[in-house]
Amino acid sequence: MPVTVFAAPAHADPAAEAADLRADLDTLLADPSVADSGVVVLDPVTGEELYSRDADSPFVPASNMKLFTAAAALEVLGPDHTFGTEVVIPAHRGKPRTVQDVYLVGGGDPTLSAADIDALAADVAAAGVKVVKGDVYADDTWFDDERLVDDWWPEDEPYAYSAQISALTVAHGERYDTGVTEVTVTAAAQGAAPTVDLGAAEGYMELDNRATTGAAGSGNTLVVDRPVGTNTIVVSGSVPQGAAPIAVLRTVDEPAGLAGHLFERALEEHGVTVRGGVEQGEVPDDLRTRVVADHTSPDLAEIFVPYMKFSNNGHAEMLVKSIGRETADQGTWAAGRVGVEEAVAGLGVDTSGVVFHDGSGLSRTDRVTANAVVDLLASTRDADWYPVWASALPVAGIEDPFTGGTLRARMVGTAAQGTVTAKTGTMSGVSALSGYVAAPGGGDGLVFSIVNNDHTGPAPLAVQNAIAVRLAEHLGHTAPVGTLAQGARVQENPESGELECSWELTC
């Protein structure tokens, strides 16, 4: 059903303008696609609520929970915070040619890449190490060994948005997906099995290829799965002969094991012979050690761009455990949740209606109120790290994914384009959009939160878009000249009913 889009009427009387705005938002929220909703629109300078509906009712937030995690991370860790990874060997005098074991020690870096691991191996070789008599150990004990939040859906585990959380994990691509590998399936001759490349996990994961190549022009029924409790990629279905290769991200079991596998392979490539194998284990407390290589991540301000623009669940959960490490010396969800809540409360936000169960919003136990979200958005404006926070939010209608993020295809050609910066949130039955509407000229504007729950059809994105556009028009913005309005151009999840949150989705 199309959503009515209102043009802001011109009034000399601000009270009349506000009344028209409230009436228009009431009409938009009466759309049949909308079920239960908490909505607040606030002037953060005057404190005036221009609109409020069920503002203190608890709602599942989806990825709007990342707003709380992000604010807490900036408050507790700081925008200059970095994450370290080290290579540790038993202490030696002079250059160690032969060592018993070598330890790759993770420090919660969400951006550690295969190239970074290769550079660490090169530094080990440059330090003089030629032989590892024993094993390569992957040490991820900076965090605990709880890999998934207790109420995440098991059927989501193969997908990147539900990757296992570890203090030693490999980030894929420029958007830093953690705990995954890229699986590429290439059609063969008709009737033959397609070829499957397991990417970085080649040699670490098992492959069960049950797929076949169908006739040219036939349907694509390919399924790439990692059954729960396994470290096996199962490929089934059919891919048409002559089709372009199909690449998907799939999670690995025990991300630290993959990091250790890549490190061992890189050592060998740099001329270091490893006689043992790859294990997961902690540097012994009684072992005298020497650091022979180290890597430092980009600072948190830089990491925040892929984290917030693309709604990275893995980053959110690693930040929660890092907050726990900073505040309680415990890299756990339990300690991190307490740290997040205390930091948010310290910003002046009433957290009495908020339930912090994870950092990403994938948990359906999380709860927020629209008032709490708006209070958070308003309070961050006074923080010294606000520029980092604001620049990391997706921007409506801006095509560049590192600017537009999950809003790059929404509100294109409307008054909200380039004006609305907001965090999205999408799961089955849950949708949210909360953020800022800048005033013309870049001055103070409006803060808003829209949290929709319990819709049974598609997410009410068109209604959210229309509300954001109406707020932009209320402030005096107009659509860019020569553009065609596209109020709700969004992509559907190609793989799962759970939309929280692969890189291709509005999350």
Return phi, psi of residue 445, to 5°.
-125, -125
Q: Poorest-confidence range of 91-100, 267-276, 398-407?
A: 91-100
pLDDT of 495 above 80: no
Whole-angstrom distance, CA of residue 335 vs CA of residue 412: 41
Q: Poorest-confidence range of 12-21, 149-158, 346-355?
A: 12-21
Tell me the two tokens of residue 318. 């690693």
Nearest-CA neighbor of 239 among 158, 181, 160, 184? 184
Whole-angstrom distance, CA of residue 65 vs CA of residue 261: 34
- Give the active site residue among 37, 238, 297, 311: 311
Is the Cα dihedral 323, 329, 333, 339 positive or negative?
negative
Residue 344 backbone class (left: φ over 0; alpha: ψ -120 to 50; beta: rest): alpha
Average of per-residue pLDDT values in the chain: 92
Tell me the two tokens of residue 443. 């001055």
Residue 113 CB partners (closer than 8 Å, separation 6+): 170, 171, 172, 176
Start-to-end CA span in the chain (Å): 22
Tell me the two tokens of residue 230. 């396994």
Residue 232 CB partners (closer than 8 Å, separation 6+): 205, 206, 207, 208, 226
pLDDT of 488 above 60: no
- Other beta carbons less than 10 A from residue 356's beta carbon: 24
Residue 94 backbone class (left: φ over 0; alpha: ψ -120 to 50; beta: rest): left
pLDDT of 492 above 50: no
Contacts 24+ apart (CB under 8 A), 396-405: 396/420, 396/421, 396/422, 396/468, 401/309, 401/310, 402/305, 402/306, 402/309, 403/309, 404/309, 405/308, 405/309, 405/310, 405/311
Please say if 66 is a catalytic residue: yes
Interval 137-145 mean pLDDT: 98
Quickly state the pLDDT bin for 139 (edges 50, 70, 90). Answer: very high
Please say if 311 is a catalytic residue: yes
Alpha-carbon dihedral 216, 217, 219, 225, rounded to 10 degrees = 50
pLDDT of 231 above 50: yes
Report field, pTM of the whole predicted structure over 0.85:
yes
Interval 360-374 mean pLDDT: 98
Q: Which helix (H) or strand (E) holds 85?
A: strand 84-90
Quickly state the pLDDT bin for 441 (edges 50, 70, 90). Answer: confident
For 55, 394, 434, the CA distances from 305, given in Å and listed in that order, are: 29, 9, 17
* pLDDT (0 to 100) of residue 9: 55
Q: Poorest-confidence range of 3-12, 74-83, 201-210, 485-494?
A: 485-494
**Residue pair 226/234 in contact by the 8 Å Cβ criterion:** yes
Residue type (1 letter), 235 = V
Cα-trace Rg, the chain: 25
DSSP state of 497: S
- Give the active site residue among 63, 113, 162, 360: 63
pLDDT of 290 above 70: yes
3-class SS string, 381-440: HHCCCHHHHHHHCCECCCCCHHHHHHHCCCCECCCCCCCEEEEEEEECCEEEEEEEECCH
Interval 484-506 mean pLDDT: 39
- Give the active site residue among 66, 309, 321, 423: 66
Residue 72 CB partners (closer than 8 Å, separation 6+): 319, 323, 339, 340, 341, 343, 344
Q: How far is CA 505 from the centre of its chain?
A: 11
Whole-angstrom distance, CA of residue 426 vs CA of residue 433: 9
Q: Write the pLDDT tens digit of every residue in 156-186.
A: 999 999 999 999 999 999 999 999 999 999 9
* pLDDT (0 to 100) of residue 443: 76
DSSP state of 242: T
Residue 313 CB partners (closer than 8 Å, separation 6+): 63, 161, 162, 163, 360, 361, 362, 500, 501
- SS3 of residue 124 by DSSP: helix
Q: Write the pLDDT tens digit of every residue in 3-23.
A: 555 555 555 577 888 899 999
Return phi, psi of residue 256, to 5°.
-65, -35
Whole-angstrom distance, CA of residue 115 vs CA of residue 322: 23
Whole-angstrom distance, CA of residue 437 vs CA of residue 447: 6
pLDDT of 447 above 70: yes
Q: Which helix (H) or strand (E) holds 19?
A: helix 14-29
Sheet holding 102-105, edge to edge: 278-280, 136-139, 102-105, 84-90, 289-296
Tell me the two tokens of residue 354. 């908020």
With tokens 């604010």, the residue in question is 71
pLDDT of 491 above 60: no
Return phi, psi of residue 397, to 5°.
75, 10
Alpha-carbon dihedral 138, 141, 145, 146, rounded to 10 degrees = -120
Return phi, psi of residue 153, to 5°.
-75, 125
Please say if 321 is a catalytic residue: no
Q: Write the pLDDT tens digit of every residue in 38-74.
A: 999 999 999 999 999 999 999 999 999 999 999 999 9
* pLDDT (0 to 100) of residue 480: 87
* pLDDT (0 to 100) of residue 335: 98
* pLDDT (0 to 100) of residue 96: 82
